[in-house]
Structure 1
Amino acid sequence: MTKRILHVVSNVANYADQAEPTGLWLSELTHAWHVFGEKGYVQQIVSPKGGVSPLEPRSLKWPLADASVKEWLNDGSRQALLSATSRPDQIDPADFDAIYFTGGHAVMWDFPDDEPLQRITRDIYERGGIVSSVCHGYCGLLNTRLSNGALLVAGRRLTGYSWVEEVLAGVASKVPYNAEQEMIRRGALYEKALLPFVSKVITDGRFVTGQNPQSAKATASQVAALLDN
């Protein structure tokens, strides 16, 4: 049977300061979409509220905007996918083999406490599916609990955008919390690469996480390897 992937994107367009734009870090979606597309997987996009997923302006500029990003920006049908994302209540978790949380600082606001997304994540995982995230996408896993009440991330090896990367990116004073620290507080076994902004992926059973935008392709490739096996 054809595998099915559910991508999760943000609806948030600004930092707390409304004059500071943020949104989906587009390459974190496009790199994974390309990997899964080459495998022939069916893909769908969901967001907490449905509808438009704003784009992080910095992710659209050279050198961060690679060929896959430019392809999406120049393809009206692809842009339409980000203008009309599904709502969680339109999603049946049983239809999907894996969930993939994208990042961009926007997700720090609308991912962590979204109970419908938590339900979808729990259902996919407990049915034997794969839970994955890249960069700030792991904020969507902070508060997800399994049916037994345990936090999904407790005792689990994982990675995601590090605090040193926040500092080096110049946004440490703008984000609402330290995601790395919050993961550790929840009992996650957080790891990061020796150097910032290099690809790092951690696989812990059916749990796959990538550290930063540079990790998106490798993260998706690992998800695909698990699905193919």
Structure 2
Amino acid sequence: MSNREKELIENISEVKEEVAQACLRAGRKPEEVTVMAVSKLHAASDIEILYNAGHRCFGESYVQEALAKQEELSGLDIDWHFIGGLQSKKAKQVAGKFSAVHSVDSSKLAGLLNKKAEALDVVQNILIQVNTACEGQKCGVTEETLPALVEEIQGYKNLKLIGLMALPPFFGDPEGARPYFARLRMLSEGMEKLFGIKLPELSMGMTGDFRVAIEEGSTMIRVGTKIFGTRPGY
């Protein structure tokens, strides 16, 4: 076993142990939380190492990089998720290629994804990204516009809304993010009640704050640095 293999396997094992401990504190079961290994800017060989160790869920943020990795690793049954900001012009390249698209934040993008999914005769799972802190530099719908987008998506036959996603502000102390995680959970519950639907996924929590996110109800954490190390070029 190479040093890189040892490193990656040890890292993801530590993350999953921390997930288990956070679930214990929150009175939840570890299987309620999916660990997404965020592999953007890391080699396909790293993904393959973790796959061979039993991990399946990976997140990518850049369309061309993600599609290239999918082609390189086409023989593996990887659970691919797209989590980055998505330009409308690239929506057609993403539809049908990922288990879920986490970053839907506009009526235009939803419509384009539905149109491409319809052409492919597939149903694309999506999450709506909510800008819970109203940060100008981040994507995501506002709380005020969320209901309208949920309602619109309900009318699309080739999109399935499975949850909400958020990127809270960065805090040195992860407790600072807790109110934003709690708010996303409340918004999800509100949308379920308002539209009579189920939104099983809450995609929130990253390397620095996933333990708090789990305590606030996250069902999918997005962990990159703690698994892969610092991204090349950073």
Tell me if TM exceeds 0.5: no
TM-score by length of 2: 0.33
Of the two, which has the highest radius of gyration? 2
